[in-house]
Amino acid sequence: MKTDGRIRRNITLGAEVLIVLKRDQRTGKLTRGVVKDILTRSANHPHGIKVRLRDGKVGRVQEVVTQESR
């Protein structure tokens, strides 16, 4: 089941997500990582909620792979 990355409440700190980086927007290439910070303040965003991953990459969430398991 895919969890929508356009809705902020679906994304939690520590969740594993697939994001599209700014440089990959044309190709749609996805990058997998773990959410460190949620950067979008609004409840939803048509292109995906912007997050920073633990490795420092910033992009918009396309899909939430797992919820935080702590």
Residue 25's domain is classified under what CATH number?
2.30.30
Specify the pTM.
Answer: 0.89
Instruction: Specify the number of domains making up the chain.
Output: 1
Share of residues in the chain with pLDDT > 90 (%): 87
Q: Residue 35: which domain range?
A: 3-66
Would you place residue 67 in the very low, low, confident or very high pLDDT band (cuts 50, 70, 90)?
low
Distance CA 28, CA 30 (A): 6
| Per-residue model confidence (pLDDT) at position 2 | 74
pLDDT of 31 > 80? The answer is: yes
pLDDT of 66 > 70? The answer is: yes
Share of residues in the chain with pLDDT > 70 (%): 93
pLDDT, mean of residues 46-53: 97
